[in-house]
Amino acid sequence: MYDERLDFWEVAFGRALKKLTVTIQDKVWRDTNRSKPLEHAETGEILAHVVEAAGTSDPFGAEELFRKDYREQLPAAIGSLAPDKRRIIKMCQEGFPIDSIDPNVVTISKALNLSEKTVRTKRKQALAALKKFLEKGDKQ
């Protein structure tokens, strides 16, 4: 005799199938919406949201390093960072890439045994902290 009610395995399969469908739909949506233009089609200028996302503060930029007071404050600002962020900033200063497809290249992510995304996140946080520290120094 067949029982009309759903058993545990039928419910679990239905739930798993629904979750898989939603996951695939999300992946397809991300893949189709991922590539957006970085520059204005007519003028060739970088779009505002791209500049905001990339961050415009470069504590090692040439225009900033020409100021003597800035050059004197930068080591103190770097010294105020947490040790892991300080290491990342020092390695960026020395020209180490964050990640590379070449397995023979020494990278920050390999040297610190961190993922590329973690290194980029910590670098972004460190640069924000440096900017804040240096802006405070300018107001004093």
Give the pLDDT score at 31. 78
* Topology at the third CATH level for domain 59-139: Arc Repressor Mutant, subunit A (1.10.10)
The neighbour count for residue 55, using CB atoms within 10 Å, is 12
pTM of the predicted protein model: 0.54
Q: With 70 as the cut, is the pLDDT of residue 108 above it?
A: yes
| Residue pLDDT, tens place only, 73-88 | 888 888 999 999 999 9
Dist CA 133 CA 81 (whole Å): 10
- Give me the phi and psi of 103, to 5 degrees please: -70, -15
pLDDT at 64: 62
Pair 47, 38: CB distance under 8 Å: yes
Beta partners for residue 46, in sequence order: 39
Name the percent of the chain lying above pLDDT 70: 79
In angstroms, the CA 15 to CA 23 distance is 12
For the chain, give the mean pLDDT.
80
CA atoms of 42 and 56, how far apart (whole Å)? 23
